[in-house]
Amino acid sequence: MLIRGRGIAKGRGEGPLLVSPAPLSFLSGVDPATGIIVEKGHPLQNQSIAGKVLAFPYGKGSTVGSYVLYALSRNGHAPAAIVNTEAESIIATGAIIGKIPMIDHIEIPMDRLRNGVHVVVDGEAGEMTYDGELV
């Protein structure tokens, strides 16, 4: 199934979906050395984002979050791609400098996406190929 959105950061990334209903802060919310979500009480706490297509509503927190995304990329623990409901400048900047494909404004509600489904994100075209059933 082809899901259209808006391209934010160029590139193509693929992997299993990791979907969060909650916003995410990369500064103090994600360990840049491991890619593990460490934010206390976050729905994805203790899960790795490395190599996954990370889908979450939007980012929160400090502008340093952009550099955490860049560090994750440099350390080999970045998500394969990012899908947001609404991209904001912190996450978009981090995706661009970290060369992480990113889209937002997808045409279906994020809560219909299933964890673990293999997807391909094309940041230039603003599209996601979804290889599974929707919730």
Domain residue ranges in the chain:
2-130
**In DSSP terms, which residues pair with 24 in a beta bridge?**
59
61 pLDDT band, cuts 50/70/90, is confident
Cα–Cα dist 38/1, whole Å = 33
Task: Determine which one of 48, 62, 73, 89 is catalytic.
Answer: 62
Q: What is the pLDDT of residue 62?
A: 87
Cross-strand pairs, 129? 2, 120
pLDDT band at 2 (very low <50, low <70, confident <90, very high): very high
71-99 pLDDT, tens digit each: 999 999 999 999 999 999 999 999 999 99
Question: Known catalytic residue: 62?
Answer: yes
This prediction's pTM: 0.97
CATH of 2-130, one of 3.50.30.10, 3.30.420.130, 3.10.20.740, 3.40.140.10: 3.50.30.10
